Amino acid sequence: MTKKYVYFFGKGNSEGNASMKSILGGKGANLADMASLDLPVPPGFTITTEACAEYTEIGEKKLFAKIDKEVMEQLKKLEKVTGKTFGKGPNPLLVSVRSGAAASMPGMMDTILNLGLNDETITAMIKLTKNERFVWDSYRRFMQMFSDVVLGVEHDHFEHALESLKKKKKAKLDTDLTAADLKALVAEYKAIVKRDTKKEFPQDPVEQLWNGVRAVFSSWNNPRAEKYRQLNDIRGLLGTAVNIQSMVFGNGGDDCATGVAFTRDPSTGANEYFYGEFLINAQGEDVVAGIRTPQQITLAGSKAWAKNQSVTEATRKSKFPSLEEAMPKCFKELDAIKTKLEKHYKDMQDLEFTIEKGVLYMLQTRNGKRTAQAAVKIATDLVKEKLIDEKTAVLRIEPASLDQLLHPVFVKASEAKAVKIVTGLPASPGSATGQVVFNAEEAEKWSKAGKDVILCRIETSPEDITGMHVSKGVLTARGGMTSHAAVVARGMGTCCVAGCSDIVMDYAKKCFTVGKVVVKEGDWISLNGSIGAVYKGKVETVDPALTGPFGDIMKLADKYKKIGVRTNADTPHDTEVAVKFGAEGIGLCRTEHMFFEPDKIISFRRMILVAETVKKIKEDHGVKSVYDLKTGKDCCMNKEEAAAVVQYKQALDELLPLQRKDFLGIFKALEGRPAIIRLLDPPLHEFLPAKENVAGQKEMAKTMGVSVAKIQELVDANHEFNPMLGLRGCRLGIIFPEVTEMQARAIVEAAAAVKGSHPEIMIPIVGNVKELINQKEICKKVIAQVEKEKKIKINVMIGTMIEVPRAAMTADEIATEAEFFSFGTNDLTQMGCGFSRDDAGKFLKDYVKLGIYEYDPFVVLDQGGIGRLVKTAVEYGRKVNPKLPIGICGEHGGDPKTVEFCHNAGLTYVSCSPYRVPIARLAAAHAAIKQK
Amino acid sequence: MTKKYVYFFGKGNSEGNASMKSILGGKGANLADMASLDLPVPPGFTITTEACAEYTEIGEKKLFAKIDKEVMEQLKKLEKVTGKTFGKGPNPLLVSVRSGAAASMPGMMDTILNLGLNDETITAMIKLTKNERFVWDSYRRFMQMFSDVVLGVEHDHFEHALESLKKKKKAKLDTDLTAADLKALVAEYKAIVKRDTKKEFPQDPVEQLWNGVRAVFSSWNNPRAEKYRQLNDIRGLLGTAVNIQSMVFGNGGDDCATGVAFTRDPSTGANEYFYGEFLINAQGEDVVAGIRTPQQITLAGSKAWAKNQSVTEATRKSKFPSLEEAMPKCFKELDAIKTKLEKHYKDMQDLEFTIEKGVLYMLQTRNGKRTAQAAVKIATDLVKEKLIDEKTAVLRIEPASLDQLLHPVFVKASEAKAVKIVTGLPASPGSATGQVVFNAEEAEKWSKAGKDVILCRIETSPEDITGMHVSKGVLTARGGMTSHAAVVARGMGTCCVAGCSDIVMDYAKKCFTVGKVVVKEGDWISLNGSIGAVYKGKVETVDPALTGPFGDIMKLADKYKKIGVRTNADTPHDTEVAVKFGAEGIGLCRTEHMFFEPDKIISFRRMILVAETVKKIKEDHGVKSVYDLKTGKDCCMNKEEAAAVVQYKQALDELLPLQRKDFLGIFKALEGRPAIIRLLDPPLHEFLPAKENVAGQKEMAKTMGVSVAKIQELVDANHEFNPMLGLRGCRLGIIFPEVTEMQARAIVEAAAAVKGSHPEIMIPIVGNVKELINQKEICKKVIAQVEKEKKIKINVMIGTMIEVPRAAMTADEIATEAEFFSFGTNDLTQMGCGFSRDDAGKFLKDYVKLGIYEYDPFVVLDQGGIGRLVKTAVEYGRKVNPKLPIGICGEHGGDPKTVEFCHNAGLTYVSCSPYRVPIARLAAAHAAIKQK
């Protein structure tokens, strides 16, 4: 059987149906479907997406030769069904040529209306309709669209001619132009075409048709469409279909109209009234073009609109009546169709219709685009209305979209009015308005003075953490979606726009510039972290609600999900937020963030200052821990050495109660939920002033009471060429075991003080089971000590991160010692792929563009590569201990695709930043439902 | 059956034999064996190494209770066999108590002679021997040893007393002291013991015996013995055995003697004469103590000695006669035993003997330690003598030891006299003498002036390569065995001592200091890279020979090995050396080293300068390659852009012929052998002056004709936080495809010019098959172009490094495109273990000490972890392509243990630096022979 490329649609004649979206496109399939439902659909036919794919592959010439016969047959059929003739009188067949892919890509591809008009059919149409103005209007519209889309004549030339004419004729609206005006305009259009293309406007309707088809097929790969697919993650489609449909006219007089409508409110999801707009005596593009003010479909809608626009009821009724009032019969019919379609498609629909001489025609129906708020409301409502079941409702909500519901958001109208300065990466969602500052200290100072600040940096570093914490938002010029700023901000739930490469920061002059725009310290700006926009001045915000339909959907998600959802939280506040968002515990509590607080960093720096000296003393004395060194007279140390030992111990003694306090707050906030606490992870240099930060070095020297040279020496000694692969994680705990001891003690003492707490100690950067054994031994010893001191039993699990590839490859060995695994997929990706998170931005964008990686592997887990390491580790680990709890706590833990992967890989839980918890819960439910 | 802890040995009475080394130790097993061979062995018994293990485990008390009965029974038996009584007259049994582990650890553990002497047996002995002087001499020796080893009395106290006495008595030698003198000395010794231990010297012989046993067992774990085992990689032993043997006395008069001998020359392996020394009227320790000049065993040896020492024949004959002359009967007997033992053990032996009253006794035999040169000579000789077969001969040579034979070496005598300044890591073997310079430019300048230089740096960087190349040796204060200096120096075959942490380099003052020693620019120093020694002044060197026994052994190795051996070589010179050493081709030719040459780096820097600009232009114009950009009037570029494009192309055009020339030389040197050439690997910043190198930046600015600020901007833009994981390898080739194009063209054009060349292009840092596809496509295109241009067919294989963990995990995908794999185990270890080679020195030493890794994973492949990645990749790759050639080209390629692993893992070849090729060939033969 030869392949069928063209499918007819029309009452009783449809060859396709709703299930054929992939080859007919959404529009084509639904037109066929609506026709089969006996709805008033102008007949036509659809050229398949497969033809589009071949168009790209074998080229226009070969494809058109292949489908020519079929198209001509369908055209004949269309003539027969409509009783009209294509390109000829007395009753000429005019058609629209419209794109339509399987996924909705509104406005991204090209459309031509009124095709089939030429100097000959014009005459026939005038004779037939006795409406000269309408025909000339249709002709000039057709010429305009066709010349732009097919012939590549600048759109502006036509607009300019139209505007000149309107000026000359003192016409306000297009509808004020007469038939004669329009006829003259057509003549002018023809001259423009001739001038620009050196050819006459094509008169052969068949030539017009093929040109239209070519234009639509070509538009599939136009940059705009490609960008749209990329942004909306639309993949795996063949191409666009082409729908050739017999025209009906909304511009044939005052008994004609055209409109678009949503069956429910696409912004809120409310099912109050039929939401939509229409225009009398107009064609499709006029409704969205904004030249004339559209009218509302329902009376209720119209009244609400009038109120909002401060239009009096008298004016409304006379100038902007609703369809319900203006064309009650058509409205009634449309309203019935609306109900029928919602029942049929079991979802909110987005409709297009045209009324020609009082007769209603349906031109399109599709599932309507909606905000996350509306999606949640509609899904829960449809369950109540028994149109869909719970699982379907859950699957209806795109997990990532929940993000919109969790952060304070700008009031739409206010944002629309704001002046955009620049666009960066949407690094951490939410909205923020504040005054610009350029360093962390200023941020703290201003914030203490009660000001809202936006911290602006070239890029952030751990030294900026406190400053970030007090800021309403963070803006950086460098760094990607997983840069320090982005990761930390998402963790904090702070809005962040990162990597605005057009910004030039000038710390010295305390300003940043974008082209000619200069923003100075203290200036107000607003960030929309969900889209990466930066605005001048203030934009109003509003808080989200977690109850109502949102709560209902989350309940359903929890009912169906199998995998647990924990959170990455480092502070009691983060923990509280996460618990509110439904976290079942902490999957990752990073203890290093705590060390950056001013009081702690001083003690810790004091320790680092003497750490090497103390290490050498221990080696000389052959002891493992500083506490095993003899002190006093017999100590065999010189004065300097003895002082170093004292300082080292003192620093640890200072840190212990501070750390314990952190954990106390977290355990309390968890109310009995488990908490995985990771021991110190980053390399020591992160706790010291940077090499370039001479001021910081001077300050540290002063605080420590040593020379600046000494501090510089320390900074140099702790410098690493590849700190990512340096002395960090358990390596630190092994070289400086007292730090592990102190941290373990802080955890266990805090746990002892909060009844019902469930601490789980996690050892980072383990690559070899012997590292784990070393650290576990220290922890076990401390636990036993504290149990003895406090005379209670404390249940502490000790497990490990799996983040070094070697750990994944030897997970069978590690599982003999680890009581749980947690995949640190950030580092596993860095080491497994050999990508430095801080540097890879340079080429990862190109890599995704070139298709080397489907997604940025730091955003969506690279399932084909790193995923194999994960699966290997799960398999090895569970072979040794079938009940081994295994989680994931990298940034990926909140990514829906990764959550699905984790569900399928048999993980016990995922852990993500507090604001991603609801997303992960929903994604987990999706995974479980899809699996069945 | 209860475990037997004690084994008797003696003529017709031996309970053990030569095969029981692991429990009797080498000495004990061979004593039993010699006795069974009817050789004159004084009887005794051996306490097993198992007892030593239990000593460490359950402690002295429990162990001694356990073995007491057995020891006493064996002691009784010894009394019976010797007809003597222990601790009693009239014929007292005296014994030696000596350690003896399964592996020879000469001088590392403790020995006690003459045990059983006390105030009572003294009298009996005097009566029996009628030689009062001998008895008192034996007693004072025993007291001295026992007090030192068992009682912990300072050795010096006794030495001091002895020396005082000799001074007082004007005695030159110990033998000049009379019986009365020695008697007085014993009294003084007793006083010393009493004073220091507050106890009398123990008189009970059984107490003496157990104390001796305890001392030997304890000495197993003394720091000196532990260090020795660590240095000599002696692992898996239970402990030391204790040999208790009835004493025979070499110090009983002029018819007594004691000596040590090698059956062949341990330095050269020559089988000319019986090599050894003895002393008349002496006990064992005197021979090595150097107080008296020992005499030679054979007449020939004695004459040679006299000549070397400028001793006249008359003096020699009268004062230093050979054993052959002095005791012809005993010599004859010893000579016969020598022959018997060599035949029996089929190897060169190291003997100890004592002559008591004209009767010869054998106290020990073992396989003699020897130099690499001797080992090779002896093994090949033994094959000729039909004592061993070829495979045994091959296995007799420790592959790593060959290193000694490949580099110029110091003349021993000259080195012995030299003053050692400091010791560092033996980073690259060989010896070098030269004048000190402190930077690469000076090195080049001085070298051009015909001077031998030693380049001294805190650490080296790629900028130093040319300077390193012209230096005789390299000395660094920082960095480990795999630091830049070490790796590059080994690659060049240049001697290098690295990581001398005691050195303080002062570039400003052009000197380095070690404590109080100051070495200035221009001072002469000498490096021994095989042991890490740095000497003041000049030391003479001598060149190695690659023929003779060495050549014979290498031929045998090639006969038995299965896996191929290639070399890592970047220059024609390296290639020639490697071919001379038997390399079968190049396994890794690093092209980046070529770029560091002054003419090339300028062109390459010119390219880097505009690379980002050109990349942006290409993106704007939607083209992949700079050659696809339209130039001239239609180019749509502004002036700056057009200039950048021109400069970019020009730089590439300059590089092409330079690169081609490099490859030409290499292909010629290979004479038809295959060459794997790796495309550019390091990140771009390595080709730019370092951030701190302002002078270099200024120079570059001048050369490029741009501002210094521009260069600094460039340096900053190319700065990476973790360059190891940054924009390097194929990532560069993908972002800047023209570089790949240029390199591929240089390779293929060179191959076209040298008949019979076999280029194999290797793509580095591939983690994803799509990267390989991208680069392969470019190479294939270039190959086709060149084939067309030159009108010939060029066979080029295109394969990839497996060095990113993700590549190993997806090797099945990669094998569909790669025509060969080569494991880059350096990077695979870095990424797999998460260790930065440049930074891990800080903790890897501790890790090895703590036993977390058995060996430094950058020296010996971590088989348990990284080895799993290797095996996974081999399995995946061969599943797709069973004939896939797979090699290894990391630094590990020359490590014998890794070579064995590679053989067992089914690899096709290993590749290593030229000077490691013979080692790898031999290790490959070992692996093949052992496998059978």
The Cα-based distances of A147 to A154, A189, A289, A393 in angstroms read 8, 9, 19, 45
Rounded Cα distance between B758 and B676, Å, is 8
Give the model confidence (pLDDT) of B687-702 as tens digits.
999 888 899 999 999 9
CB A43 within 8 A of CB A82: yes
Rounded Cα distance between A177 and B98, Å, is 122
Q: Which residues of B are catalytic?
A: 484, 889
- Amino acid identity of residue B743, one-letter, is Q
Count Cβ atoms within 10 A of the Cβ of residue A702 and give its class: 0-12 exposed, 13-18 middle, 19 or more buried: exposed
CB B270 within 8 A of CB B380: no
The angle formed by the CA atoms of residues B558, B560 and B564, to the nearest 5 degrees, is 55
Who contacts B619 (Cβ-Cβ below 8 Å, separation ≥6)? none
Active-site annotation holder among A157, A407, A484, A685: A484
Locate B738 and state its tokens: 């023209």
pLDDT at site A635? 62
Locate B185 and state its tokens: 């000395």
A482 part of contact set with chain B, CB < 8 Å: no
A727 chain-B contacts, CB cut-off 8 A: 839, 842-843
Place of tokens 């592990």: A740
A831 chain-B contacts, CB cut-off 8 A: 725, 805, 831-832, 834
Dihedral sign of CA atoms B737, B738, B740, B744 in order: positive
A625 part of contact set with chain B, CB < 8 Å: no
**A90 cis-preceded (ω within 30 degrees of 0):** yes
- SS3 label, residue B479: coil
Sheet containing B240-246: give its strands across. Answer: B6-9, B44-47, B240-246, B95-101, B111-115
Q: Residues 800..819 of B with a Cβ closer than 8 Å to A: which?
A: 803-806, 809-810, 813
In a mutational test of the A interface, the residue from B721, B801, B810, B812 whose CB has the highest number of chain A CBs within 10 Å is B721
Instruction: Give the number of other Cβ atoms within 10 Å of residue A126's Cβ.
Output: 16
CB B523 within 8 A of CB B435: yes
The Cα-based distances of B150 to A841, B47, B162, B218 in angstroms read 67, 18, 20, 10
For residue A662, is it left (φ>0), alpha (ψ between -120 and 50) or beta? alpha
Spans of chain A below 50 pLDDT:
none
B827 chain-A contacts, CB cut-off 8 A: 834
Indicate whether B29 pLDDT > 90: yes
Q: Which of A499, A471, A504, A505 is nearest to A484 (CA)?
A: A499
CB A560 within 8 A of CB A391: yes
**Which of B805, B830, B846 is facing A735, going by the closest CB pair?**
B846
CA atoms within 13 A on the CB side of B65: 4
Q: What is the mean pLDDT of chain B?
A: 91
- Amino acid identity of residue B133, one-letter, is R
Give the model confidence (pLDDT) of A800-814 as tens digits.
999 999 999 999 999
B806 chain-A contacts, CB cut-off 8 A: 832-834, 862, 865-866, 869
Indicate whether B244 pLDDT > 90: yes
Distance from CA of B508 to the nearest CA of A (A): 17
B843 chain-A contacts, CB cut-off 8 A: 727, 731, 734-735
**Which of B726, B804, B810 is facing A839, going by the closest CB pair?**
B726
Q: Residues 512..531 of B with a Cβ closer than 8 Å to A: which?
A: none
The angle formed by the CA atoms of residues A324, A326 and A331, to the nearest 5 degrees, is 35
Rounded Cα distance between A925 and A462, Å, is 35
- SS3 label, residue A775: helix
In a mutational test of the A interface, the residue from B839, B847, B854, B861 whose CB has the highest number of chain A CBs within 10 Å is B839
Q: Which of A60, A81, A10, A31 is nearest to A213 (CA)?
A: A60
Who contacts A344 (Cβ-Cβ below 8 Å, separation ≥6)? A33, A37
pLDDT at site B267? 73
pLDDT at site A46? 97
DSSP strand pairing (B564-568 vs B586-590): parallel
Q: Do A720 and B805 touch (CB under 8 A)?
A: no
The Cα-based distances of A144 to A153, A158, A190, A363, B160 in angstroms read 9, 7, 10, 21, 117
CB A188 within 8 A of CB A253: no
Q: Do A850 and B724 touch (CB under 8 A)?
A: no
pLDDT at site B314? 94
Q: Do A843 and B734 touch (CB under 8 A)?
A: yes
Dihedral sign of CA atoms A661, A666, A672, A677 in order: negative
* Cα nearest neighbour of B764 on chain A: A834
CA atoms within 13 A on the CB side of A55: 25
**DSSP letter at B836?**
-
Distance from CA of B55 to the nearest CA of A (A): 22
Give the model confidence (pLDDT) of A404-449 as tens digits.
788 778 888 889 889 999 988 877 778 899 999 999 999 999 998 8
B726 part of contact set with chain A, CB < 8 Å: yes
Q: Do B806 and A865 touch (CB under 8 A)?
A: yes
> Can you name the residues that pair with A380 across neighbouring β-strands?
none
Give the model confidence (pLDDT) of A620-638 as tens digits.
887 888 988 877 665 668 8
DSSP strand pairing (B409-410 vs B453-457): unpaired
A789 part of contact set with chain B, CB < 8 Å: no
B862 part of contact set with chain A, CB < 8 Å: yes
Q: What is the largest CA-CA distance in chain B?
A: 120
**Which of B834, B852, B866 is facing A831, going by the closest CB pair?**
B834
Q: Do B731 and A843 touch (CB under 8 A)?
A: yes
Q: Residues 538..567 of A with a Cβ closer than 8 Å to B: which?
A: none
Give the model confidence (pLDDT) of B420-440 as tens digits.
999 888 777 788 999 999 999
Distance from CA of B377 to the nearest CA of A (A): 43
B731 part of contact set with chain A, CB < 8 Å: yes
Give the model confidence (pLDDT) of B148-160 as tens digits.
889 988 888 898 8
B874 chain-A contacts, CB cut-off 8 A: none
Q: Do A723 and B725 touch (CB under 8 A)?
A: no
> Can you name the residues that pair with A365 across neighbouring β-strands?
A351
Alpha-helical regions (H) of A705-804: 708-717, 730-735, 737-753, 769-790
Rounded Cα distance between B545 and B405, Å, is 7
* Cα nearest neighbour of B722 on chain A: A722
The Cα-based distances of A611 to A652, A666, B256, B839 in angstroms read 11, 29, 61, 17
pLDDT at site A463? 75
Q: Do B852 and A770 touch (CB under 8 A)?
A: yes
A768 chain-B contacts, CB cut-off 8 A: 833, 852-853, 865
Q: Do A720 and B839 touch (CB under 8 A)?
A: yes
pLDDT at site A482? 58
Give the model confidence (pLDDT) of A726-780 as tens digits.
999 999 999 999 999 999 999 999 999 999 999 999 999 999 999 999 999 999 9
In a mutational test of the A interface, the residue from B227, B715, B722 whose CB has the highest number of chain A CBs within 10 Å is B722
* Cα nearest neighbour of B772 on chain A: A852
How far is residue A835 CA from its own chain's centroid? 23
Indicate whether B586 pLDDT > 90: yes
Rounded Cα distance between B831 and B806, Å, is 10
The angle formed by the CA atoms of residues A813, A816 and A817, to the nearest 5 degrees, is 105
A862 chain-B contacts, CB cut-off 8 A: 806
